[in-house]
Structure formats: C-alpha cells, structure tokens
Amino acid sequence: MLRYVLKTLYRHRARTLLTVSGAAVAMFVFCFVGSVQQGLDRLTSGADANRSLIVFQENRFCPTSSRLPQDYASQIRKIEGVADVVPVQVWTNNCRASLDIVVFNGADPQKIKDNRPVELIDGSWEEFQSRRDAAIVGRNFAQRRGIKRGDQFSIGDISVNVAGVFQSSVPSEENLIYTSLDFLQYTRGLDAAGVVTQHEVVLTSSADPDQVARAIDLDLRAGPVATTTRRKGAFQASTLSDLTDLIGFAHWLGYACVGLVLSLVATTTIMSVQDRIKEYAVLQTIGVRPLRAMRLVLAESTILCLVGGLGGTLLALLALQLGGFAIGAEGATIAFRPSFELLAAGVVVSLVVGLVSGIAPAIQAATVPIVKALNQP
C-alpha cells in the first residue's frame, strides 16, 4: 500500500512539490527561531553562568559607561568564597542590538587561559602572550568576518594582529575577541588606564553565589565607585532584557509556522481525497476496510509533512552551521547554533503535524458513501 501512496503523490507532482516546499519553509523558520531561544537559554544558564559573578558599576548599562578601579580586584580576592578575580576591559562597536556586534574583552592572557572556557584551534598561547597588540578571536566571529591567524583586524581606533582562533563550550564566547588588558586600557581614545569595565569573579566550589555577591557590594560600597554584583547569567539576562522580550515574541512566530504547516498539509490532503472520492469508493468495494483507508490518507499527509519538515530542518541547521550568526547588545551576545535538540524537534513536530493534519481527510475517505460516490459524474 506504500507504493500506492507514493504513486498517488507522484500523480499530482505540482501540488506535492508546492506542499513540501511550503512545509520546508515553515520548518526552516521554526528551527531558526528555536535556535535563538536555545542561544538565550545557554547564555543565561549552565555552570559558567551560575558559578561566576560579574561586578559592574552601579546604575550603568553599556560597557563604555562602567568604570571601576582596577585595584578593586585585590579587595574582592580577600572575600570568603572567591577563588580568583579577572579584571576585564570591554569595548564594543555598538551598545544597541546588532547582528554584527564586535566585542573586545581585555584581560590578563594567563587568566583568560586559566579561567575562560576557550581552546585554541589555530595559533598559540605563547604568541598571544608575547605581543601587546595580539588578539585571539572566536570561531564564529572569524567565520563571519573571514578572519584567520596572521591577519590584522581594525575597527575604530583599535587595531590588532590575530594570533589565534579559539572554540568554546559556551557558544556566546565564540563571538568575542580577547586582547591583553594593557592593550585595551592604553589604546588611543579609550582613556582607561587604571580602570576596567567589570571584574569577573570565579567562585570556590562551596561558595554561595548570592551571599558572595552581597558581600562584594557591601565591601566596595565605601570605595569611590559603588557596584552591583550578579551571577553572570543574571547579569547577561538583564543586559539583554529588551532582546529577551523580542525573542519571547518571536517564539510565537515558531508556533505560527507549525500552524501554517498544519493548515497547508490538511488542505492539500483534503483536496487529494475529494479529487479521488470515487477511487476510495472502489477500494471499499474490493474489500479495503475503512481503517485501512484512513491509514492510506494518514500516510499521505505524514509523508508530505515529514519530507518537507525534515528538508527545512536540515537546511536551517546547515545555515546555522555555516553562517555563524549572532545578535548582541551592550557587550553580551547570543549565538545561533545548530543542535541535536533542534533536529529532534523538527522531526517530531513534522511527524505530529502530519498525523494531525490527516485526521479529517482520513475520516472523510473512510466514511465515503459507496453508491453516492460512484454515481458522481
């Protein structure tokens, strides 16, 4: 009976192709929106987001407006529960939401190596540490900008030599550029000698992040600049609050795409059944039971949806893999990455939608009045 279903679909090639194409486009958008949501979830959860703290200037948002004394690091290290402190100077080309944001993080090269989840896939740490104007760039950023080891990269007053390209277990890291702290502090036009944008605090395994955050703010309150300390995930979620609302709205777009596939495949299958109403009547006269007729129609709608949905899902994953897309604001970035979860979601949604969209036409095919159908012109 599978051969019968495939021949039926082949007989109406134009309609089949249009339906499959529509399902593919809708599932492409569904998976793309899903990757944005996953990127936000990865950024604001996980060990790196929950076991690190960000000390930022109180009531400041864009990195260019936060200026903390660098020597705050020595005070923070004395607080119980703190394993290490990394002073970081952040520079970004755009504090507003952007699809091509450039974010420089200046820190001590050895602390970057020890504390950040990065692994060089091209270049060497020795070269990065030996040159003041050297930088290592994330794989996604390098792919998006066409940068490789040995290139010189310039934006605004900042010009660096690429000493290596790194990958990371935290996808958002792959959109960053790391330089030495001294280089960013003394770059012409930045005027940041002795100050940093933020302090990143690495906690001991037994420390309570919230308790340590309160202790840091209390200890630094008597200093020249008041601070706000949060878990890294909470800090990034707050930084991207406007984008979070937008992504939440876009999530409904994904559900709308599922509804579009449901409507499209259901309409196509109903048209197919109505065009072949006599055929189903004949099938009943030769002994095909109503349940089998239903299975034939359900198989037809499921094949249409699975082929289109799987095609759209694979195209979305390929685009995400090759594109290195990211969106960011105020120095924080959300990376769009393909994942097995997206593939599984695309397949499951396609299968479920295919079955649901075929229920109404399947009932119609199984309950067709034989005499009335055969007497139709």
Shortest CA distance to 178 belongs to which of 223, 117, 234? 117
Question: How far is Cα 120 from Cα 137, in angstroms, rounded to an integer?
Answer: 9
How far does CA 310 lie from the centroid of its chain? 19
Q: In 18-157, at which residue ranges do the beta strands (DSSP E only) sit?
A: 52-57, 68-69, 82-92, 103-107, 118-123, 134-138, 152-155
Q: 10 Å Cβ neighbour count for 223? A: 13
Give me Rg for the CA atoms of the chain.
28
Q: Please report, in tens digits, the pLDDT of each residue of the chain (377 residues total).
A: 778 777 777 777 888 888 888 888 888 988 888 888 888 777 777 666 777 898 998 887 777 778 889 999 999 999 999 999 999 998 887 777 667 778 889 899 998 888 888 889 998 898 898 888 899 999 888 888 888 898 888 887 788 999 999 998 888 888 889 999 888 888 766 667 788 989 999 898 888 989 999 999 999 988 888 899 988 887 877 777 667 777 777 778 888 888 888 888 888 877 777 766 666 666 667 766 777 777 888 888 888 889 998 999 999 999 888 877 777 767 777 778 888 999 999 999 989 888 888 888 788 777 766 655 566 65
- Are the CB atoms for 163 and 125 separated by under 8 Å? no
What pLDDT score was predicted for residue 206?
Answer: 87
What pLDDT score was predicted for residue 166?
Answer: 92
What pLDDT score was predicted for residue 334?
Answer: 79
Question: How far is Cα 288 from Cα 142, in angstroms, rounded to an integer?
Answer: 61
What is the 8-class DSSP label of residue 174? Answer: G
Question: How far is Cα 48 from Cα 136, in angstroms, rounded to an integer?
Answer: 20
Query: Left, alpha or beta for 201 (phi > 0: left; psi -120 to 50: alpha)?
Result: beta
Residue type at position 57:
Q
pTM: 0.76
Which structure tokens are listed for 264?
């499209």
| Structure-token match 């790196």, residue found | 48
Question: How far is Cα 245 from Cα 166, in angstroms, rounded to an integer?
Answer: 31
| Structure-token match 């706000």, residue found | 228
What pLDDT score was predicted for residue 188?
Answer: 66
Which structure tokens are listed for 211?
């308790």
Q: Encode 342-364: b = buried (16+ Cβ within 10 Å), e = exposed.
A: bbebbeebbeebbebbbeebbeb
Beta bridge partners of 56: 198, 228
